[in-house]
A and B are shown apart, each in its own frame.
Chain A
Amino acid sequence: MSTTTLRPRTTPTGRRATDRLTRRINLAAETPAGRFLFGFGAVLAVFVVWQILSVSGILPSAAIPSALQTLAAFAALLASPAFWSALWATVSVVLLGLVLIVVIATPLAILLGLVRFAEESAWFVIEFLKPIPPVALIPLGLLLWGPSPGMKLFLIILGAIWPLLTQLIYGVREVGGTSADMARSYRLGWWLTTSRLVVPSMLPFAMTGLRISAAIAVIVAVVTEMIGGADGLGQEIVVAQTAGALPQMYALIVATGLLGLAINGIFRIAEAPLLFWHPSYRKEAA
């Protein structure tokens, strides 16, 4: 707080000393090692405070197990094959859904981005379907197909296709202008134009869209499992909840969060070699 205001010279020295201290702490936090230490320390502190509050009975033990119990349950999960098969049931459908989303969205985006009549015609339909909460379709999906992987897949595609589609349409429009004229005057062939111009221009948009789509796909998959009873992590959570196995339920929730974190991480790792040339990446690296 105090780093942003310049104090007049007459400030008491004690005040100025704390100012200097905050500034030094903030500077330390900006180094990579500092960032790691601060982050790691905070996570550790959360676990320690959690454990103390549980043991001393401030946190209601009927609702929140202690940190150690949860960690033990998490370790037990990692050793149980049922957990891994549930994880795979969730992840496999999400991955398949994302592949299908790419397959459907790419030609659609090219059509909508290039043909003005198609874009204007589809405008209302897309603008109407986009904000519909994907979970609203779960009861309908359950009614029509029951709790099957196919139903999960259908809901994932319908709920998570929009970010990628919208981003790809932006991307298609981005191709063109000076670089397209340049490609034409250099008489680049179809292959060179596609590989050197079209794909690189669309890739940043595709990655952004796909990352958001992936996050939504995980949400839809987990909710479908929780409500519809399809196999997967969501169902495991509900089962643990009804069985009153609290530490296990919390461990599963932590595992779901780690899955989300891992998906984000994979995208970040995949983006680096694909987009290293892009201005926003170069700026970040500099």
Chain B
Amino acid sequence: MSAQNHLTLFLTRAWLPVGAVVIWWFASANSTSLYFPPLQTILTTLWSGLLVDGLVTDVLPSVVKFLIGFAIAAVLGIVLGICIGMSSALRAATEPIVQFLRSLPPPVLLPIGLLLFGIGPSMSVAIIVIGAIWPTLLNTVDGVRSLDPLVKDMSRSYRLTMPQYIRFVLLPNAGPQIFAGLRTTLQISIILIVVSEMVASTSGIGFYLLNSQQTFAVAETWAGTLLLGILGYLANLAFLRLERYVLRWQYGMRALTSKG
């Protein structure tokens, strides 16, 4: 019975995407249109051009820069968020500035990054950190502030040291909110790595993509777009796994008390 349910679920979820790919494959098979090359051509370009020849020159540098930038933004965002969240004075002072920087569409920082760092990997990393840190920082501040005053008094009575207080009281309490912020930071990081490579780089998927567009290499443009889509999807999937692992105690607790 259960196996059959799984099969039904799988089939209902699969028919639309599989059907769309099949239709795309056959509808474009004999396409001579300049802009819509056959799916087969796109996939062979993706495989040979990007994954075999371009793995080291284009795909890996992008992924590494993205991971470094995201890691720095995440750690810095959480640390600063804890500092700001614990002090009302600091929060009041930083609020207008943080709100402004958060509202700034991050890609407009690129020209400044170019002037300060020139063309290169350090520019991409710096742009990711400055542009993507805000959701994590703001959510950490909120998470720290949402601590029950009773718990706060309790940890004072127990004379928890500052590291203990942060590690065992503040961080677990703020965990779900921090991860919600990290998810947005992740999305902005992906956007920024792509844009920064488009505007100022001589390698990377973003560069490959814009370069193909400007040289009217249509199949390459489609292939690059497809690869970015797949990478974005995989990054999101990996992140959700990590979140489920780190917050596993939270899910258990929520299932027990059945409230959010």
State the A residues within 8 Å of B (CB): 1, 3-6, 22, 25-30, 34-35, 38-43, 46, 60, 62-64, 117, 120-125, 127-140, 142-144, 215, 218-219, 222-223, 226-227, 233-234, 237-238, 241, 246, 249-250, 252-253, 256-261, 263-264
Contact = CB atoms under 8 A, between A and B. Distances in A.
A146 to B, nearest CB: 11
A264 B12 CA distance: 39
Interface string B162-201: 1001000000000000000000000100110011001100
Interface string B88-124: 1101111111011111111111111011100000000
B90 to A, nearest CB: 8
Nearest to B107: A223
Interface stretch (B53-61, B71-79, B208-216, B244-252): B208-216
A227 B35 CA distance: 20
A271 to B, nearest CB: 16
B110 A125 contact: no
Contacts of B198: 135, 138-139, 227
A131 to B, nearest CB: 4
Interface of B: 9, 12-17, 20, 35, 86-89, 91-97, 99-112, 114-116, 152, 155-157, 159-162, 165, 187, 190-191, 194-195, 198-199, 209-210, 212-213, 216, 218, 221-222, 224-225, 228-229, 232-233, 235-236
Contacts of B157: 6
A63 B115 CA distance: 5
Top 3 nearest A-B pairs by Cβ distance?
A260-B103, A139-B213, A38-B92
A133 B92 CA distance: 34
18 contacts: A1-B162, A3-B86, A4-B86, A25-B89, A28-B89, A29-B93, A63-B116, A64-B115, A121-B13, A128-B233, A131-B235, A143-B213, A143-B216, A238-B111, A241-B111, A257-B108, A259-B103, A261-B100
B187 A121 contact: no
| Interface-central residue, B156, B159, B160, B232, by most chain A CB under 10 Å | B232
A238 B15 CA distance: 45
Given A29-B92, A218-B105, 16 more contacts: A4-B86, A4-B162, A5-B165, A6-B159, A26-B89, A29-B93, A136-B224, A138-B198, A144-B35, A215-B103, A219-B105, A222-B105, A223-B191, A226-B107, A237-B108, A263-B103
Given A223-B107, A241-B111, A261 B99 contact: yes
B4 to A, nearest CB: 15
B191 A124 contact: no
Given A6-B157, A133-B190, A128 B229 contact: yes
A39 B95 contact: yes
A260 B16 CA distance: 37
Given A120-B9, A237-B108, A260-B105, A136 B229 contact: yes
B89 A29 contact: yes
**B-side interface mostly:** helix
A149 B136 CA distance: 33
A26 B101 contact: no
Given A39-B92, A237-B111, A264 B103 contact: yes
Contacts of B199: 226-227
A131 B232 contact: yes
B218 A143 contact: yes
Contacts of A238: 111
B13 A226 contact: no
B104 A4 contact: no
B35 to A, nearest CB: 6
Contacts of B218: 143
A22 B89 CA distance: 9
A3 B153 CA distance: 11
Given A30-B88, A63-B116, A133 B95 contact: no
Contact of B225 (A127, A137, A237): A137
A123 B13 contact: yes
B225 A5 contact: no
A117 B12 contact: yes
| Interface-central residue, B35, B100, B191, by most chain A CB under 10 Å | B191
Contacts of A253: 104, 108-109, 111-112
A184 to B, nearest CB: 25
A129 B15 CA distance: 16
A227 B17 contact: no
A135 B191 contact: yes
